[in-house]
Structure 1
């Protein structure tokens, strides 16, 4: 009963302690792996700045938002930021930094097991290696993109990069095959991809001396650049190529017009990518890296403090648990000692009662023996009276019989009072016992032999033996079982 009460309380203790144990452990889980809309919006603005040539603005936006993405464990945002940083560093010729940042993003994407972002990072690296002339490495990254892609077809942006690599490597046949697959899908792509693809197709046509087609595609790309105000870095190349084509066709005025515009755009691009801007970009990059390192150090210190607080909290919680267990153990030992003491008291009381019962039964047996002896004496006197006065004997014999019967009834009542549960237990074992057989059992319990029982009950010894046999049968005793020992144990 004691353990049942304790066990009933244990689930309640667990329900109280378990949430406390996990309270701090779970406090930051909700923010992991999720990108807030505000961070994604800033990344989108930085991307717009990148596409429209506002590189410093793009860099500043990304630099400002990266610490927040790291602090909030926004892995998706970190991947996108590192990829954009890679593109920006590539624009300024910082190829080592460009590849480092892109690979950081790829590592995070792989850890997150995010297939879509992993493919995006692999494609960005393939594009950067293509820009710096490492075409075979670029092709390897593109192959990795295809291995991870779940689509049944090759996406257009991967095809276009394959085509551009083969174009730069002089494998015009392979480049043509890829571009022929891409062109029918061109209207389904965004303007940024359209410009890049159309410009590459134009370069391919120029390389294989299809000047009219080259002119068409160069002008088509330039038209999109002017209307959408995108890809300022490509525009000078488009204008310069068109100037040369028109010059070869003898249209010098048109050639001069495009050449002048190309020079103006080149000057603008030079200002963006000039040495001063490059140095400024390097300083900004170094400054941002220093800030990021400091913030990372602060973050690590905060994590260390948080870990100490967690350890302290769990230590206190452990002490509380041990205290609760100690209290439970104390009360368990106390109750066990109390129950043992009660058991000893009950055992002592039981033995005491048994001793009292045995004493009273002995007194009953002595009284019965005295009655038997008294009856012997009276019977002798009655025999003497019978010889001398028969009438007197008849009167005294009747009186003696009545008195003797009353004495033995009183004896039976006293036995029942002392052994109050004896008859109940007997009847539970053998419900078929008669009142006379119950009296026999009572005398057997008081250790009377057959002769004494016959005298007390006023029957022959043979009748006593027959009664004992019937009792043995009703109690289902075997021949070797002792009736006296069996009844004494009840």
Structure 2
């Protein structure tokens, strides 16, 4: 029951905070994030960790609504430090991974300086969580990028001091001292980073066993913290360290006072309030998870809506494709029918034309036979008239004879006209292939195409059968035919 109440509370809190953030414009959100991130850094420096944590996740919510990955990157950079301060290594490492992810997709890595800062943060985080080898690897990349960019000392000393501190922690005191000396030559004691640098000197001399020098630097660091009112969390560690060193020197009273001050400050920041701090972190983590659950729920709902829309779209697509297929099939069927109808019509026209040609050929053949009979009759009449003429000269008989000859010529012209009508392209094809043929040769070819015998051809042309055979022989030579070639077959193919 209590869990359900908390769930409802977090959902209400989420919508209460998320709705105003949605109203941010992108430019307004950028300006707002700059102010908030500066405030977060200030809160961390003065040890107001829960408040800093709260602001970070508020920014996260706004960045999610605006889909601003650069702000998410900046937020995770701060989270790595917060989780490290409270020794939450798992979340610190997860925040490092998230920082790298958002650095890549937001284009931070396109800027070599942005990439360098990301690697420096990762190295610093791994050092705080005592993973010195990974810290060394990340700092090495960070320093390489700075060297390649030839950045000024003001940007380089952060990485150099981290490298020096790593050398101290891993027992490489000479290398650490060399780097710290190089930094100190160009470093101002008024710098906000002075407290950390003095602390590093103190750690170096502690490691080397030079207690008095270590105390001098620790006290310088404490003085700087007091002057700047920042890095209060570091003050707790420094008081503990000077207390231990004074105890080794026999300054027990001072050591006791410093240990008491460290405990009181530690209780105020981490001790008596640490339970409250951790509880706040747990509550805010639950709130954050609730936000993420709400987002996941909303995403699921959106995905369901998209799925329904996709299904509707697929159904419409299937319907349209089916309709298109039916249309194409119908069109194909109609075109096939029209094609068949057209082919049938063409076939019918061909058959009709062929039938008409066959009829005309038959008519031509009949006409030709009639002409043969007519010419035969006329020849007999002409012969009879010749006999009459020999017996008795008569001018009227002569006129009859001339008329018969004239009619014979006209009859042949009528035959030739009918032949050309039936075989329109025959003479053209023949002349195109054989341009050496005479008019008599063309007449002979026409009669051979009609399959007349030599005797019938002689009767039509008014010549003897021998003359026809001689004409056929000469024609074969002109056509270039061999002895085995059939004259009728060749002429019929034209």
Instruction: State TM-score, norm by structure 2.
Output: 0.70
The alignment's C-alpha RMSD in Å is: 4.8
Equivalent residue for 1:96? 90
Kept after mapping to 2: 8 A contact 1:123/1:145: yes
Secondary structure at the counterpart of residue 305 of structure 2: helix
Q: What CA deviation, in whole Å up to 9, does each residue of 1:294-329 have, x standing for no partner?
A: 222222331232133223313312431332233123
Output aligned runs, 1:6-405, within 5 Å. 41=31, 43-52=33-42, 53=44, 54-67=48-61, 69-70=63-64, 77-106=71-100, 123-132=120-129, 134=130, 137-143=131-137, 146=140, 151=145, 153=147, 157-179=158-180, 196-197=196-197, 199-201=199-201, 203-204=203-204, 207-208=207-208, 209=210, 219=220, 231-234=231-234, 269=269, 274-390=274-390, 391=393, 394-405=398-409
Q: What CA deviation, in whole Å up to 9, does each residue of 1:431-455 have, x standing for no partner?
A: 6666554444433332224443344
Change (3 A) 1:71 1:485: farther
Aligned mate of 1:414, from 415, 418, 425: 418
Shift of 1:361: 0.9
Q: What CA deviation, in whole Å up to 9, does each residue of 1:227-274 have, x standing for no partner?
A: 6x764544666799899999x9xxxxxx9xx99999998787559964
Equivalent residue for 1:466? 474
Shift of 1:279: 2.0
Change (3 A) 1:381 1:142: same
Distance in 2, Cα, partners of 1:148 & 1:326: 66
Change (3 A) 1:453 1:125: same
Distance in 1, Cα, partners of 2:127 & 2:91: 16
Unaligned residue ranges in structure 2 (runs of 5+): 1-24, 149-155, 249-254
Instruction: State TM-score, norm by structure 1.
Output: 0.71
Secondary structure at the counterpart of residue 447 of structure 1: coil
Change (3 A) 1:377 1:45: same
Unaligned residue ranges in structure 1 (runs of 5+): 1-34, 249-254
Q: What CA deviation, in whole Å up to 9, does each residue of 1:374-417 have, x standing for no partner?
A: 21221122122212214555433321121111111111112222
Kept after mapping to 2: 8 A contact 1:198/1:220: yes
Kept after mapping to 1: 8 A contact 2:360/2:422: yes
Distance in 2, Cα, partners of 1:261 & 1:431: 134
Between the two proteins, the alignment pairs up a number of residues equal to 441
Change (3 A) 1:279 1:156: same
Distance in 2, Cα, partners of 1:332 & 1:183: 90
User: For the pair shown, which has the larger CA radius of gyration, 1 or 2?
Assistant: 2
Change (3 A) 1:171 1:85: same
Distance in 2, Cα, partners of 1:410 & 1:165: 126
Shift of 1:101: 3.0
Change (3 A) 1:76 1:323: farther
Distance in 2, Cα, partners of 1:51 & 1:74: 20
Distance in 1, Cα, partners of 2:88 & 2:357: 109
Q: What CA deviation, in whole Å up to 9, does each residue of 1:32-77 have, x standing for no partner?
A: xxx9656555554443233212544433333234356556665555
Kept after mapping to 1: 8 A contact 2:236/2:266: yes
